Amino acid sequence: MLIAALRRVLLSCITLVMLTVFIFIATEIMPGDALDVSLSADEIAMIPPERLAKMKQDLGLDRPAPERLLSFLGGVLTLDFGKTLISKTPVTAIIGYPLRNSLILAGAVLLLAIPLALTIGIAAAVWQGRAIDNIASTGAIIGYSIPEFVIGTVLVMIFAVAWPVFPATITASTNDAALTLLAASPLAVVTVLIGSIAYLARLLRTGMVDALAKDFVERLRLTGIPEWRIVFLHALPAAIVPSLTAMALYAAALVSGIVVVELVFAYPGLGQELVRGVTRREVHVVQAIALCSAALVVALNFLADMAILALDPRTRRA
């Protein structure tokens, strides 16, 4: 168990180092720089080229790439992501609240999605091939297939414009309290929730159908154990274990990947900050967000692996 865990820690570290270099290269090939995009066409037309060159020099934009890579790697090791290029503010101060807000949104969604998806997935598996399964499976395919920006826009049209019960766009501040933020974001939560339930319910249904068809379940039934005990105490853990990695990756993707939803509703999360960082060529902000997202995926994947190791003795031999 310990060796398996250490092996996974090592793999996670190697993955992170590779991702760090990849992120640096990705930000390096973005065209233009922070100074270019911080100036308007009027300003560019009026500032002499030699002054522009001096401004770039002052901002450190003319430093060679290897020098910047070393500086970035050194910073990552000490969890120092540097400062913004234009205003020289610590990057951690820029991404702190957006990261928190994305975690709040993802947390709220998962809190609602997991029990609902569990209920739907279990019901669909237990009554496989019956009306409830057909409805759940069809609903899941529809819910998962429709892009989130379509769901979001339809919800806005219905519940904010035609029947104005919820805000169409989130005007809460980035540093508002978690409950204030969530109260301002019901449509954003529901938009992400629909896709999440659809995905997780499908995942759990498949796992449950497999588990319920296993020989050990048949033997349990023959011993006369009540069906509810078989489902919840025996089949469900067996169904969850293979889904854990997928669920962990989904949770990580929720934090870093709901950019579209954040843009549709103007939710002050990491996705919106990333878009802003890219637009403004604030490469340190982009690097920090990308690295946080990558680290989250690696960390949750690692936790899922650990959980599987703990729950499934067969994997410890691998």
Partner 1 sequence: MTELTRRSALLGATTLLAALDSALLGTASAQSGQPKRGGTLVYAQCSGNRRGGDASNAKHPYYMIDLITRSAYNTLTWVDEGLNIVNELATKLAPTDDKLNVWEVTVREGVKFHDGREVTAKDWASSFELHRRRNFASQQIKSTEVTGTHSLRFFLDAGNSEFPFVLAEYDNVVMPANEDFQKIGLTGIGTGPFKIVEADPQRRMVFERNENYWRKDQPFLDRLEVINREGQMESAINGFRSRQFDAVLNIDPRLVRQLSNEPETDVVPASSGDQAVIILPKHPGSPFLDKRIRQALAFAIDREAIVRIVYGGAKFGWMGNDSHMAGTDPMFAPRPVKRDVAKAKALLAEAGHPNGITLPTLYYAPQWPEMSRYFQVIQETVKEAGITLPIEERPNDGYLKFRQGEADVTKGNYHKFAYTAVGPRNPGISLFRMRGANNESGYWSGPAHDRYMDLYRTAMVTADAAKRKAIYAEMQQICFDEAPALLPAGRNNVLIKRPNIRGLNNHPQHWSITWDGVWKA
Residues that bind partner 1 (CB under 8 A): 30-32, 34, 36-47, 49, 51, 84, 86-87, 89, 93-94, 153, 156, 160-161, 164, 167-169, 171, 173-175, 263-266, 268, 276, 279-280, 282
- Which of residues 190 and 299 has its CB atom nearest to partner 1 in the complex? 190
- Number of Cβ within a 10 Å radius of residue 248: 21
39 or 295, CB closer to partner 1? Answer: 39
Taking the C-alpha atoms of residue 115 and residue 201, their distance in angstroms, rounded to an integer, is 10
Closer to partner 1 by Cβ: residue 32 or 224: 32
Name the minimum Å distance from CB 43 to partner 1: 4
Contact 290, 26 (CB under 8 A): yes
**Residue in 241, 235, 286, 223 with CA at minimum distance from that of residue 72:** 286
Cα separation, 73 vs 81, whole angstroms = 9
Q: Which is nearer to partner 1, 15 or 38 (CB)?
A: 38
Residue 174 or 245: the one with the smaller Cβ distance to partner 1 is 174
Q: How far is the CB of 66 from partner 1 (least distance, A)?
A: 22
As measured in angstroms, the least distance from the Cβ of 187 to partner 1 is 10
Token pair 């090939």 in the structure block, residue: 29
Distance of CA 141 to the CA centre of its chain: 21
Q: How far is the CB of 171 from partner 1 (least distance, A)?
A: 5
Least distance (Å) from partner 1 to the CB of residue 100? Answer: 14
Contacts of 123 (CB under 8 A, 6+ apart): 132, 133, 136
Q: How far is the CB of 55 from partner 1 (least distance, A)?
A: 10
DSSP secondary structure code for residue 83 in this structure: B
Question: Angle 97-100-103 (CA atoms, 0-180°, nearest 5)?
Answer: 150
| Smaller CB separation from partner 1, 48 or 224 | 48
Please state, in angstroms and rounded to a whole number, the distance separating the CA atoms of residues 100 and 180: 13
